[in-house]
Structure 1
């Protein structure tokens, strides 16, 4: 296990132990506020009912994001009603899906839709994922074989996007599914977050038990955590800092 320490420590604060985890696909779920707070700041409405787990709705009332770990398999559900030329669509992501990967999709919901459909597979190929076809299916697999993204087509014409990760030990796996009507720019945003080589950070009591992860111990000040959280939320505001500024403020960019 590697160990490093954050600069900027002051006598008034006590550092807290956290861990940077690689690969990010096996980091575990994380704090759901990472997803929901960004949507709130972007103008999404809290539609949670008393005694019910969190749910938010887009300003135009067409998209709903909810977190329901008590259901089977439990986790995130994103549903969009039909609008104009866009058919309704649905996505489900299990509760062990890292919030940083969930946010790849949900953050994209707050941005304008691009004029042209992007290449979903491009972020994966850029990180040396293996891509190819198997019969009616198109698949991509990470270099370590721990994560995948498939576009699976049934003989009757049905299709689904299917993704996930597994450490092959049974206790740290997750799957995600998207209907074939899910806008491609959202699937591409998800695939970019899935393929990202950047580690993600977890507090010491939230580090998964897995022989397939690498952890780097870091001492983090509470003020640093607050600053990183505020940088992310500021990026959700129309007049907030640029994406480059937000990245420079992130913990994975501040390692020493």
Structure 2
């Protein structure tokens, strides 16, 4: 009789995890949540073995990096100037939950929307309080732990600053440079404001008095299935995009050929 491998098949053991709310104070999480989706979307993984994460879009215009080995560390998303789109970047602290980071990075794989969305809408839909304060627009979560702020710099450029912090000082901040596309800021805000809890394994839950947790038992196969579903969705969307490009008709004009052929009899 074959020995059943521990952690696989019918004999696998459930592992203790925790659902954490609010998600903004759940801690960084597993960076593969971001990286695997980008890779399945056709991005290149240019990370060095044992080094920080480094991903590059297929057209080489956007880079996503995560470096926990430097201070202050965290995420850097940078896009070079491309045609009508100016250069921009976003910097997110090391404790920014990967689910919120993915709001922005997942949106990088989708086409830019024709019209700039209302960044405040997903916040207000979840009961965030938006106000004009000291020359800035500020929106704060109902429990006061997370915020999003819009202000203009000395040169009149628009700046976004956001983050979350508990009463003990634990948390993170993030900022977006002026040219950051609004649909990316909107996607980030949507995940920031989401009331859905996120999951963290035992030992990876922050020691904060302002979070709520629920213990759940999860099998490795269940975690794998959830992760695979996300990757499969990214691959399907990438395939659809590539198929659409391949199916586009040629725009260059073909040489004119008279009806009946170009040959003439002598």
TM-score (norm. length: structure 2):
0.84
Match of 1:246?
A: none
**Is the Cα contact below 8 Å between 1:114 and 1:185 reproduced in 2?**
yes
Map 1:40-119 onto structure 2 (within 5 A). Answer: 40-119=39-118
Mapped partners of 1:11, 1:183: distance in 2: 47
Q: 1:49 to 1:221 in 2, by over 3 A?
A: closer
Structure 1 stretches of 4+ with a deviation exceeding 4 A read none
C-alpha displacement at 1:49, in angstroms? 3.2
TM-score (norm. length: structure 1):
0.87
Asked if 1:162 is matched to 2:154, the reply is no
Q: Which has the larger Rg? A: 2
Match of 2:222?
A: 224
Mapped partners of 1:70, 1:168: distance in 2: 26
Unaligned runs of 5+ in 2: 1-8, 239-266
Mapped partners of 2:86, 2:22: distance in 1: 34
Residues paired across the two proteins, number: 233
Q: 1:51 to 1:228 in 2, by over 3 A?
A: closer
Q: Residue 174 of structure 2: which of 157, 162, 176 is its match?
A: 176
SS at structure 1 position matched to 2:223 = helix
1:59-112 alpha-carbon deviations (Å, 9 max, x no partner): 110000000112221100000000111110000001100000000000000011
SS at structure 2 position matched to 1:139 = strand
**Is the Cα contact below 8 Å between 1:78 and 1:90 reproduced in 2?**
yes
C-alpha displacement at 1:147, in angstroms? 0.1
Match of 1:249?
A: none
**Is the Cα contact below 8 Å between 1:136 and 1:154 reproduced in 2?**
no
- Give the root-mean-square deviation of aligned CA atoms: 1.9
**Is the Cα contact below 8 Å between 1:20 and 1:215 reproduced in 2?**
yes
C-alpha displacement at 1:51, in angstroms? 4.8
Unaligned runs of 5+ in 1: 1-9, 241-256
Mapped partners of 2:215, 2:48: distance in 1: 39
